[in-house]
Amino acid sequence: MLFNSYFFIFIFLPVAWLGYFALNKYKMVDLAKSWLLGCSLFFYGYYNPSYLPLILVSILVNHAITTQLQNDKNERHKTSLFYFSLCFNLGLLGYFKYMNFFLDNFSALTTIHLEPLKIILPLGISFYTLQQVAYLIDVYQGVAGEKRFIDYALFVTFFPYLLSGPIGHYSEIMPQFESLRAKVFNYRNVALGLFVFTIGLSKKVLIADTLSGWVSDGYLHPEKLHFFHAWGTSLSYTFQLYFDFSGYSDMAIGLGLLFNIKIPQNFNSPFRAGNINDFWARWHMTLSLFIRTYIFTPLVKCMPKTTFGYSMIAMFLAMTIAGIWHGAAWTFVIYGMLHGLAIVIHYYWKKRKKKVNYFLAWLVTFNFVNFTFIIFRSRTLTEAKHVVMGMLGLQGFQFPKMGISFINKLGAKMGPYMSNDQNLQLIIIIVSFILIFKAQNTSELQESFKPRKRLAVLTACMFVICLFGLNRVSEFIYFNF
């Protein structure tokens, strides 16, 4: 089920919300949690009920293992159990997400031809697997623990973050469900939730979905992209990805607040970053935290020595893994490697203590990110190469038609780009730049939120405009990962 659909907004959400608070009001706390769990599973299975058995098996196995880990006093036994469960989770993810990628590459590298398997990638598997792996590690290290199945299952499946995060930590989320305050209607949280949800919906419906048409159009025939068109395509995708994913995260945070649950922030104006390390501290923050805590740190510990050089190797490997996590394709591997390499270069630069002008640093960072998003979006490296060639003017340079018809009279070739439709694209790209640099981001807006009448009217206006835009319902980009 999509957040940006009439069914979700007008039926599912009110029913789930009213049911949850009604049951809590009559002190049926466990039943309220079960209700929310049931609603979350319905939300998940609404797309395709065949996804349900897998998530249920995953939850059951992980719960059984983590309970055993908490009960077991034998360290060796615990370690074996821990590695078994790690293999189980990664095996599940590996099979559903990477098996065909592996078979393809195996066939390409050897003379043995292996037919791809008919595997449907279950929605959200990357997210709920990461969430459970994080919990598993925390339990193994003795920093978290939960024995009640209902609590654990609700932690994994809570519908606002189930499909695309933000990736929550058990210690962050579950104590909130236990709190007495979470069980009663909280006026401020509901007002703030509606406000944040509307911001997210606007980002998705008004900006990301509008840009998506031009992105698909550009990537359909990348070899035909001229200079302006190529830049338009790549910037459109960069902003589409940001507004789509941060819009989803805002909606998830807003929905969490309606249930009195504070879900962690996922974005903090990433395009204002002056270096690549800063970018990752602001972009998909919960994934960055996961990479740092559960991949980078263990990798550093595995290195022969704790030196700067080894740390950099660990960083590069961690970012490559993060790239692969996004999808089973070489483009994602290269995306991860490039970011890993950029972070390593940044640390070496930082070590030399050379200062760079902020604008120059921002320009380099933004363009690097924009460039790597081309690889991220492309189905093949050839496709990415064409977009980059277009941006460099190597596939032709045609003037846009915008108000410079006199150039035509001089005999210069006028491009097909910048029709009325593409004037709108340019306007949206400019608006996106302004929003990214000048407007307060969602967490800043949340902090300064005051439930005033004027703001309520403004939020309602935005909400209604979005409702009228829901006819072009589209999936969120991160659903693919």
Partner 1 sequence: MHFIRIFFLTSALITALLLGFIYSIDPYDKYGINVFRFETKAVAMARENKFNMVDHAKKNYEAFVIGSSAAHRLHTDDVEALTGFKTFNYAVQHTTPEDYLAITRHILARAKPKLILFQMDLYGLNENFKTDTRFYTSPLKAYLDNKNQGKPENSWFDSDYFTIGAINDSFKVIWVNVTGTVKHLYLDDGNYQKEKPYTGPLLVTQYSYENYKLSDKRIQLLTEMKRLCDEKSVRLLVWTAPYSLEHIQRIMSDEKVSHALKEFKDVLVEIFGEIYDFTNTDVAKFNSVTYFRDSSHPERELFKVILNQVLNNSDSTDQFGKKLKP
**How far is 418 from 424, CA to CA, in rounded Å?**
9
Quick one: tokens of 18? 């009213």
CB of 459 to partner 1, least distance (A): 6
For position 57 contacting partner 1 by CB under 8 A, the verdict is: no
**How far is 474 from 469, CA to CA, in rounded Å?**
11
Interface region with partner 1, contact rule CB under 8 A, candidates 175-183, 259-267, 390-398, 454-462: 454-462
Residue reference for tokens 């020595």:
305
- Give the residue with the Cβ less far from partner 1, 47 or 463: 463
For position 92 contacting partner 1 by CB under 8 A, the verdict is: no
For position 451 contacting partner 1 by CB under 8 A, the verdict is: yes
Name the residue among 383, 344, 348, 38 with its Cα closest to residue 216.
Answer: 383
CB of 406 to partner 1, least distance (A): 21
**How far is 175 from 411, CA to CA, in rounded Å?**
70
Contact residues for 308 (Cβ-Cβ < 8 A; gap 6+) = 347, 351
For position 255 contacting partner 1 by CB under 8 A, the verdict is: no
For position 409 contacting partner 1 by CB under 8 A, the verdict is: no
CB of 157 to partner 1, least distance (A): 27
- Give the residue with the Cβ less far from partner 1, 131 or 459: 459
For position 461 contacting partner 1 by CB under 8 A, the verdict is: yes
For position 448 contacting partner 1 by CB under 8 A, the verdict is: no
Residue from 86, 312, 321, 465 touching partner 1 (CB under 8 A): that is 465
- Name the phi and psi angles at 399, rounded to 5: -70, 140
Size of the site for partner 1 (CB under 8 A): 25
For position 455 contacting partner 1 by CB under 8 A, the verdict is: yes
Alpha-carbon torsion, ordered 162, 165, 169, 173, to 10 deg: -60
CB 83 within 8 A of CB 152: no
CB 4 within 8 A of CB 470: yes
CB of 155 to partner 1, least distance (A): 28
Residue from 281, 463, 473, 474 touching partner 1 (CB under 8 A): that is 463
CB of 35 to partner 1, least distance (A): 22
**How far is 273 from 441, CA to CA, in rounded Å?**
13
For position 453 contacting partner 1 by CB under 8 A, the verdict is: yes
**How far is 200 from 206, CA to CA, in rounded Å?**
10
Residue from 341, 469, 473, 474 touching partner 1 (CB under 8 A): that is 469
Contact residues for 59 (Cβ-Cβ < 8 A; gap 6+) = 132, 152, 153, 156, 157
Q: For residue 326, indicate whether it is catalytic.
A: yes
- Give the residue with the Cβ less far from partner 1, 28 or 456: 456
Residue from 58, 459, 478, 481 touching partner 1 (CB under 8 A): that is 459
Q: Within 293-329, where are the H helices?
A: 297-302, 308-326
Binding residues for partner 1 restricted to 178-237, rule: CB under 8 A: 187, 190-191, 194, 213, 217, 220-221
For position 393 contacting partner 1 by CB under 8 A, the verdict is: no
Residue reference for tokens 């003017």:
393
- Give the residue with the Cβ less far from partner 1, 178 or 475: 475
Instruction: Please state the separation of Cα 366 from the chain's center in Å.
Output: 18
CB of 431 to partner 1, least distance (A): 16
- Give the residue with the Cβ less far from partner 1, 32 or 194: 194
Quick one: tokens of 179? 């709190």
Quick one: tokens of 259? 């249930």
Instruction: Indicate which residue of 63, 169, 326, 386 is catalytic.
Output: 326
Interface region with partner 1, contact rule CB under 8 A, candidates 104-112, 145-153, 295-303, 449-457: 449-457
Burial of 457 (0-12, 13-18, 19+ CB in 10 A): exposed
Question: Any idea which residues carry the catalytic annotation?
Answer: 326
Task: List contacts with partner 1 (CB under 8 A).
Answer: 187, 190-191, 194, 213, 217, 220-221, 451-453, 455-457, 459-461, 463-465, 467-469, 471-472
